[in-house]
């Protein structure tokens, strides 16, 4: 079969590898769609190395059809259409027991410890089946939508961490696929005004399509002035940073009202070290938090919202490539030209 093999930083290519052989308690997924995310770009560039193996196949946003079922697996059948929740907690550490399974001390993931979705077939380990990480898709849900359940589930976690509720005034920094998912979720949560900051023209157009109230080009407009004009000088209630740019964290903090919340949703390259004015947090009583991965409930919620038509992820797909053209897909993502880029083996 064909798979994208990562040999090291900036060293990857599509090659022929052996088709996985499953054990009696595993299943084999025939991949129909897998999506490239910002984390994948950092891995491919060598900017994220934790838990990454060389050589290996990455990719953690995927859906497909079950092609083989192990003899001991009773809850699935050949031909089932499924989406895969790739991050698997241990269920026994302090974080799992205290309700933070997404931050599990011992978590493993498909696309990290196990080979991932940039391949024609993926072996789904027994632990993923045991803990409910293989999720059936309704017949009307496309494979493209099924692959995007993973980033949507992470955004659901982010919206909860930010605490967005009725009548909140919200700022979303970045209108890539993550920012656009947050935009839709914030509207569903009852936000009364949503401001989106994004320098790329095509992405600002997408933000308009998905219902942002105010859209700002921070390269040519003064974001702080616009935020204050639309919040009576107070600042926004909640901020989602959907891009990982350390240089803008400090300025973004200053756009929150006293008692407001900023969620640093996006991952940052390296350590993500940045300089902030701590007194902004101190005197304004700003709540600063982060988001990592998702819980199983978040994932089930994402699949349910997609199936119900409450969140539109299909229109986020801007480009689709075959696995042989993975390098082109990678370059499309890096350029910012694409919104969500998919691989269909």
What are the tens digits of pLDDT across the range 63-95?
999 999 999 999 999 999 999 999 999 999 999
Indicate whether 213 pLDDT > 90: yes
C-alpha span between 191 and 186 (Å, rounded): 6
For residue 135, the model assigns a pLDDT of: 98
Say what the pLDDT of residue 16 is.
98
Closest C-alpha among 14, 318, 265, 309 to residue 140: 309
Token pair belonging to 113: 């410890």
What's the pTM?
A: 0.96
Instruction: Copy the structure tokens of residue 185.
Output: 């979720």
> pLDDT tens for residues 186-204?
999 999 999 999 999 999 9
Q: Is the pLDDT of residue 268 over 90?
A: no
Q: Looking at residue 336, what is its pLDDT?
A: 84
pLDDT computed for residue 269 by the predictor:
78
- pLDDT (average), residues 239-254: 96
Q: Does the pLDDT of residue 344 top 90, yes or no?
A: yes
The residue with tokens 């079922």 is: 69
- 338 pLDDT exceeds 90? no
Whether 7 has a pLDDT exceeding 90, the answer reads yes
pLDDT digits (tens, 9 = 90+) for 36-64: 999 999 999 999 898 999 999 999 999 99
Instruction: Express each pLDDT in 158-190 by its tens digit.
Output: 999 999 999 999 999 999 999 999 999 999 999
Q: Distance between CA atoms of 245 and 266, rounded to whole angstroms?
A: 9
Cβ neighbours, 10 Å, residue 277: 12
Domains and CATH numbers, the chain: 2-148+313-343 (3.90.180.10), 161-290 (3.40.50.720)
pLDDT at 337 > cutoff 90: no
Mean pLDDT for the chain? 97
- Please check the confidence at residue 229 and state whether its pLDDT lies above 90: yes
Share of the chain above pLDDT 70, in %: 100
- Tens digits of per-residue pLDDT, 85-140? 999 999 999 999 999 999 999 999 999 999 999 999 999 999 999 999 999 999 99
User: How does DSSP assign 233-295, residue by residue?
Assistant: TS-EEEEEE-S--GGGHHHHHTTEEEEEEEEE-S--STT------HHHHHHHT-EEEE--S--
Contact 241, 264 (CB under 8 A): yes
Query: What DSSP line would sit under 313-338, residue for residue?
Result: -GGGEEEEE-GGGHHHHHHHHHHT--
Specify the pLDDT at position 227. 98
Give the model confidence (pLDDT) of 285-301 as tens digits: 999 999 999 999 999 99
Q: What is the pLDDT of residue 318?
A: 95
């Amino acid at each position: 079969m064909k798979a994208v093999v990562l040999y090291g930083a900036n060293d990857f290519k599509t090659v022929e590898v052996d088709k996985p052989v499953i054990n009696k308690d595993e299943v084999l997924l025939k991949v129909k769609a897998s999506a490239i995310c910002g984390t994948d770009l950092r891995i491919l560039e060598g900017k994220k190395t934790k838990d990454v193996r060389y050589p290996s196949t990455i990719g953690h946003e995927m859906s497909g059809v079950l092609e083989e079922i192990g003899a001991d697996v009773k809850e699935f059948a050949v031909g089932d259409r499924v989406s895969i929740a790739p991050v698997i907690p241990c269920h026994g550490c302090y974080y799992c027991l205290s309700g933070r399974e997404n931050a599990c001390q011992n978590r493993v993931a498909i696309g990290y410890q196990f080979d991932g979705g940039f391949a024609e077939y993926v072996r789904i380990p027994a632990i993923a089946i045991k803990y409910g990480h293989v999720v059936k898709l309704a017949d009307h849900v496309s494979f493209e939508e099924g692959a995007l359940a993973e980033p949507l589930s992470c955004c659901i976690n982010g919206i909860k961490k930010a605490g967005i509720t009725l009548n909140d005034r919200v700022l979303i920094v970045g209108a890539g696929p993550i920012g656009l998912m947050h935009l839709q979720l914030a509207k569903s949560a009852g936000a009364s005004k949503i401001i989106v900051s994004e320098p790329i023209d095509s992405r600002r157009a997408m933000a308009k399509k998905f219902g942002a109230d105010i859209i700002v080009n921070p390269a040519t407009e003064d974001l702080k002035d616009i935020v204050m004009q639309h919040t009576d000088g107070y600042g926004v209630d909640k901020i989602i940073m959907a891009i990982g740019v350390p240089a803008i964290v400090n300025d973004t903090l200053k756009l929150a009202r006293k008692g407001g919340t900023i969620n640093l949703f996006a991952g940052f390259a390296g350590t993500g070290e940045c300089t902030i004015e701590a007194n902004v947090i101190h005197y304004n009583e700003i709540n600063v938090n982060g988001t990592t991965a998702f819980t199983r409930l978040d994932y089930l919620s994402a699949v349910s919202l997609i199936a119900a038509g409450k969140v539109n992820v299909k229109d986020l797909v801007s480009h689709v490539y075959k696995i042989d053209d993975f390098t082109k897909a990678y370059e499309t993502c890096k350029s910012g030209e694409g919104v969500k880029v998919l691989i269909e083996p």
